[in-house]
């Protein structure tokens, strides 16, 4: 999952998108369209893996608190659904730039502007999805704090990351002038929290308590 997301959201986005430069962004997409498409598919595969992760975490934490575990899964499913639909905006830009027959009524400059519009809509849709990328971390953090199978410090980190994701959303839509100031700091907290949790699961695993067997003795008279 991390590999799919890293390739799509970190590599592809950084290579293709040039902030404030429509022509360069469009040229990058057209020059390496197959890589752009690969990033698109890679992100979808990441979302699918996320759903499998949700199932694993639900089974792990259900004995701790079934209500919080269900709430966590609900936030993940909603977030993935929003992200899936939002990806259509990104792919719409590719369809427009390929200039199918019914788009011949538009001038090339108009097609580029329309493609960039869809890319911007995709960007804003991604910010909306961050609401749920943050919210699912709240019940997860509470579950970690209530359990004895994962260090509680990771629970605190999960809750902190939740707050940072929500701050990302509100700053983007209401205080966009401060994005350059806050984005790096918030991203560090989010990355440290999520990477720490994943590494702990992969390297240390969880402490699963073995059920205690009730031994009964009977005496024959």
| 132: its two tokens | 């749920």
State the chain's mean pLDDT as an integer: 83
Rounded to 10°, the helix 137-146/66-97 angle is: 150
The whole-model pTM stands at 0.81
Q: Give tens-digit pLDDT for 127-174.
A: 999 999 999 999 999 999 998 888 999 999 999 999 999 998 988 888
Nearest to 28 by CA among 112, 99, 111, 89: 112
Query: Do 150 and 144 touch, CB atoms closer than 8 A?
Result: yes
- Higher-pLDDT residue of 205 and 78 is 78
- Give the HSE-up count for residue 155: Cα atoms under 13 Å, Cβ half-sphere: 15
The pLDDT value given to residue 2:
64
What confidence tens digit (pLDDT) does each residue in 205-218 have? 655 555 444 444 44
The radius of gyration of the chain's CA atoms, rounded to the nearest angstrom, is: 22
Percent of the chain with pLDDT over 90: 34
Confidence of residue 67 (pLDDT cuts 50, 70, 90): very high
CA distance 11 to 40: 12
Share of the chain above pLDDT 70, in %: 85
Asked if the model's pLDDT at residue 111 lies above 90, the reply is no
Q: Which of 4-8, 110-114, 193-197 has the weakest average pLDDT? A: 4-8
* Between 187 and 130, residue with greater pLDDT: 130
Maximum Cα–Cα distance for the chain, whole Å? Answer: 99
Q: Which of 90, 84, 75, 74 is nearest to 37 (CA)?
A: 90
CB 135 within 8 A of CB 164: no
Q: Higher-confidence residue: 168 or 21?
A: 168
Instruction: Read off the pLDDT of residues 27-57 as tens digits, 9 standing for 90 and up.
Output: 888 888 888 888 888 888 989 999 999 999 9
Alpha helix positions (H), the chain: 2-5, 13-16, 22-31, 33-61, 66-97, 108-135, 137-146, 152-174, 179-199
Q: Half-sphere exposure (CA, 13 Å, Cβ side) for 148?
A: 3
pLDDT at position 113, please? 85
**CA end-to-end span of the chain:** 63
The confidence score (pLDDT) of residue 42 equals 87
The count of other CB atoms within 10 Å of the CB of residue 63 is 12
Dihedral sign, CA of 41, 76, 58, 191?
Answer: positive
What is the reported pLDDT for 142?
96
Q: Contact at 8 Å (CB) between 134 and 166?
A: yes
Identify the CA nearest to 129 among candidates 55, 33, 46, 185: 46
Kindly state the average pLDDT of the residues 60-80. Answer: 94
């Amino acid at each position: 999952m991390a590999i799919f997301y890293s390739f799509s959201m970190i590599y592809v986005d950084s290579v293709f998108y040039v902030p404030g430069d429509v022509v360069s962004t469009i040229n990058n997409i057209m020059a390496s369209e197959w890589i752009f498409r690969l990033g698109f598919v890679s992100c979808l595969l990441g979302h699918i893996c996320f759903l499998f992760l949700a199932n694993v975490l639900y089974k792990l934490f259900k004995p701790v608190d079934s209500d919080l575990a269900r709430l966590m899964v609900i936030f993940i499913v909603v977030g993935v659904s929003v992200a899936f639909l939002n990806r259509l905006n990104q792919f719409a830009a590719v369809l427009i730039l390929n200039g199918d027959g019914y788009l011949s009524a538009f001038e090339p400059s108009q097609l580029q502007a329309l493609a960039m519009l869809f890319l911007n809509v995709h960007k804003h849709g991604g910010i909306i999805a961050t609401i749920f990328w943050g919210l699912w971390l709240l019940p997860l953090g509470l579950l970690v704090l209530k359990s004895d199978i994962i260090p509680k410090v990771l629970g605190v980190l999960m809750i902190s990351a939740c707050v940072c994701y929500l701050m990302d959303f509100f700053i983007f839509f209401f205080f966009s002038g401060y994005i350059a100031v806050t984005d790096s700091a918030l991203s560090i907290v989010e990355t440290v929290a999520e990477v720490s949790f994943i590494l702990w699961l992969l390297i240390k695993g969880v402490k699963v308590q073995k059920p205690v067997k009730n031994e009964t003795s009977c005496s024959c008279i």
